């Protein structure tokens, strides 16, 4: 009986890469919540702003995908470079009589992995992307995010 050939060293299966990437996103969200809470508790962030930010995180679904879908590709100038996207109505534009589509943030695995093979660099890019997209959910413009060091080119 012939044994199965060993899997090539250094190559992760797509399933494992997806799982690892999902954990990176979960960790980024958890770290962001912990950072906001710590900054609120030590007085470097106002309780009001901290509450707003924490509520925004709870109010949006954060999911992962390998790459943008057909609609997302069509709606973006450089879809292959898209690390994340916020879809929904920013909190600053919500109205009581408005039919809302549930807000969603999607973090894209392939574009993030394409930036670097380094897991540390990918982790940092995921953190920045999660913060950037949550800020869009809060209604912050790309210009404001750039001023804060969370812009696309930063």
Flag whether pLDDT at 3 surpasses 50: no
Domains, the chain, ordered by start: 14-93+111-147 (3.30.2010)
Task: Report the share of the chain in percent with pLDDT over 70.
Answer: 84
Mean pLDDT value across the chain? 85
Q: What is the pLDDT of residues 25-84, one digit of tens each?
A: 999 999 999 999 999 999 998 999 899 889 989 989 999 999 999 999 999 999 999 999
Which of 4-8, 15-19, 48-52, 62-66 has the lowest average pLDDT? 4-8
> For the whole prediction, is pTM greater than 0.85?
no
Flag whether pLDDT at 154 surpasses 50: no
- Name residue, tokens 């080119």: 153
């Amino acid at each position: 009986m012939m044994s199965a050939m060993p899997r090539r060293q250094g190559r992760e299966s797509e399933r494992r890469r997806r799982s690892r990437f999902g954990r990176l996103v979960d960790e980024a969200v958890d770290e962001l919540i912990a950072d906001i809470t710590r900054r609120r508790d030590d007085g470097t962030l106002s309780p009001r702003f901290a509450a707003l930010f924490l509520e925004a995180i709870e109010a949006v679904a954060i999911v992962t995908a390998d790459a943008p879908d057909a609609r997302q590709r069509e709606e973006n100038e450089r879809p292959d470079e898209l690390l994340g996207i916020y879809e929904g109505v920013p909190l600053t534009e919500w109205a009581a009589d408005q039919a809302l589509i549930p807000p969603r943030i999607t973090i894209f695995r392939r574009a993030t992995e394409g930036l670097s093979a380094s897991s540390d660099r990918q982790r940092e890019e995921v953190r920045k992307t999660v913060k950037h997209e949550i800020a869009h959910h809060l209604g912050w413009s790309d210009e404001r995010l750039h001023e804060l060091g969370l812009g696309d080119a930063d």
